[in-house]
Amino acid sequence: MTGKRRTQIFEVSTLYGAATLAAALDAGRFGPRGSARRMLLLSNNATVPETAAGLPDMTGWAQVVSRFDAVLDWNEAIRPFHPGDWRPVDRDAPLWQRLLRRYWDLGEGPIELVVESVHAAPAAALATIFSDADLHVYADGLMSYGPTRERLPVGTACRIRRLLHLDLVPGLRPLLLSEYGVPAETVPSDSFRAILDEITQASPPPAQEMGVERPAVLLGQYLAALNILTEAEEEQLHERMLRGAARAGFRAVVFKPHPTAPVRYSRLLEKAAAEAGVRLTVLDTPMLAETVFARYRPGLVVGCFSTALLTASVAYGIPVARVGTGPLLERIKPYQNSNRVPLTLVDALLPDLEATAKGEVVTDRPTLAQEIEPLLRTVGYCMQAKANPGLRAEAERWLDAELGPATHRYFKRARLTALALPGGFGSQLARQLPGGGAAIRVARRVRKATRR
């Protein structure tokens, strides 16, 4: 038994997240090694975990896990429940804590939890079970720049000590958890890049060498799983990426599919590559997109709104471009959908490959954060107005000054009307709406009338 020694439990569901934690540890963000037991808790959140590749199966896993003292399995601990939707009722929390302390040999010492997506399972379940543990939240993607998705229980919010995040848009302040006064702290980019280099060195070289030719890399996200696109529409999106890369002059393309994407996606892309006269390599080995960047040294990275687009730019200096973001801004529902933030960021910052036939290293602009922050804070207010009332005046000013043909795609007119913001159905009417339920009812009447 470990007695009263402090234990840090790091909950993780992706290799990218595990690499982020390893970088934070290397940078001393959790104190010197030996000051606490470091337990890495794995959660496989796939719809059918038994059929999905686990983190230990991914290239570079051994390098990341070496930073931790032990590895725990959340799926095994709560079986037969699914980690994506299970959490204990409050009255059972003390029992679960006692059982897990014994099952994981945690002893009676204090616990610190380091979790992702604290409002959702499995992080929310852990916060409930270890009800006296300090919480550290880490965000490994672009969603950290958006507002908190749901109101947190008071007993959880008061225990959050900080938000750790990667500096994917250099200098941009995260909105996540800001309404609770949680300070944001960056994971040093050089520490993160060093971890990525370790993972790359452990990965096998490409089976098909590209020689001096610098290919384009296409990033698949499997948006059909999020009900944002149908499978047929996502296939078409991948084809558009490939044809855009071909028009940009690339004769070799590497497709990095999402780990849970159907095999037929790759087969249909092979047909499109043959028609476009492009040599296609489809990667079927589970690995980070960043490993692909380092191994293939691409001349361009293309995607929809993947976080890896910004990593390619900020960590590797690779030109990046987007495809297909415009229609998604209109289709993504509800307006509060957390994917709206990464979608908005990528659409606003990256060039449209189909319009320009070229990419850009977007994160080398020194004024990047200042350029995008007002738009992002306005979108964040529209997404979660009740949680962020302090952003209202700023949002009104930005909408008054900047809302027009080039920026209206980031907002829904009905949403602006419901919030009595400039740009709604009749700006004068919108300004007079009293707010709350009355505003929503009037907005619905106006919207219904305009459809007749």
CA–CA gap between residue 197 and residue 353 (Å, rounded): 28
Q: Which pLDDT belongs to residue 130?
A: 97
Residue 34 lies in a domain: yes
Percent of the chain with pLDDT over 70: 90
Per residue in 204-262, pLDDT tens?
Answer: 776 555 554 789 999 998 898 888 999 899 999 999 999 999 999 999 999 998 876 66
Measure the CA dihedral 370/371/377/383, to 10°.
-160
Q: Going by C-beta distance under 8 Å and a sequence separation of 6 or more, which residues neighbour residue 328?
A: 223, 228, 229, 304, 305, 343
Give the max Cα distance, the chain. Answer: 71
Predicted local distance difference test score (pLDDT) of residue 28:
97
3-state secondary structure of 160: strand
**Residue 268 within any structural domain of the chain:** yes
Answer yes or no: is 131 within a domain. yes
Please state, for a pLDDT cut of 90, what percent of the chain lies above it: 78
Token pair for 102? 């014994």
Give the tokens for residue 238.
Answer: 């991948």
Nearest Cα residue to 151 out of 419, 385, 375: 385
Contact in structure between 256 and 284 (CB atoms under 8 Å) = no
Q: Give the CATH number of the domain where residue 183 resides.
A: 3.40.50
57 and 18 share a domain? yes
The pLDDT of residue 431 is above 90? no
Tell whether 302 and 336 lie within a shared domain: yes
Indicate if 352 and 236 belong to the same structural domain: yes
Whether residue 84 is found in the same domain as residue 161: yes
Residues 41 and 56 in one domain: yes
pLDDT confidence bin for 449, thresholds 50/70/90: low
Of 134, 163, 198, the last residue of a domain is 198
What confidence score (pLDDT) does residue 1 get? 47
When pLDDT is averaged across residues 390-418 and rounded to a whole number, the result is 96
My answer on whether 159 and 24 are in the same domain is yes
Instruction: For residue 434, tell me if it sits in a domain.
Output: yes
End residue of a domain, out of 334, 364, 394: 364
Is position 325 within any domain? yes
Mean pLDDT lowest among 58-72, 218-232, 313-327, 360-374: 218-232
Phi/psi for 117 (5° steps) reads 50, 65
Report if residue 94 sits inside a domain: yes
For residue 2, is it within any domain?
Answer: no
Q: What number is the average pLDDT over the span 104-113?
A: 96
Domain boundary among 198, 223, 238: 198
Q: What is the distance between the alpha carbons of residues 154 and 242, in angstroms, rounded to a whole number?
A: 48
User: Average pLDDT, whole number, for the chain?
Assistant: 90
CA nearest to 8, candidates 92, 66, 72, 58: 72
pLDDT exceeds cutoff 90 at 284: no
Whether the CA torsion 306, 308, 312, 313 is positive or negative: it is positive
Question: Would you state the structure tokens that stand for residue 279, as one six-digit string?
Answer: 């040599």
The answer to whether residues 40 and 70 touch, using CB atoms and an 8 Å cutoff, is yes
Q: Domain of 309?
A: 208-364
Specify the pLDDT at position 49.
82
Q: Model confidence over 165-183: pLDDT tens digits?
A: 999 999 999 999 999 999 9
Which tokens sit at 300?
Answer: 């361009």
Amino acid at 284: D
47 and 66, same domain (yes or no): yes
pLDDT at 207: 54
99 three-state secondary structure: helix
pLDDT at 448 over 60: no
Q: Which tokens in the block code for residue 347?
A: 């659409």
* Count of structural domains within the chain: 3
Asked if residue 407 and residue 283 are part of one domain, the reply reads no
For range 338-364, the mean pLDDT: 96
332, 387: one domain? no
Tokens representing residue 207 in the block: 């089976």
State the CATH number of the domain containing residue 325: 3.40.50.1980
CA 290 to chain centre: 15
Same domain, 214 and 320: yes
Question: 203 lies in a domain?
Answer: no
Tokens of 352: 């449209």
> In which residue are the tokens 């204090």 written?
110
What confidence tier does 48 reach under pLDDT thresholds 50, 70, 90?
confident
Q: 274 is written with which tokens?
A: 């043959």
Same domain flag for 19 and 157: yes
Give me the amino acid identity at 363: T
pLDDT for residue 265: 67
Same domain, 191 and 216: no
Whether pLDDT at 450 is above 60? no
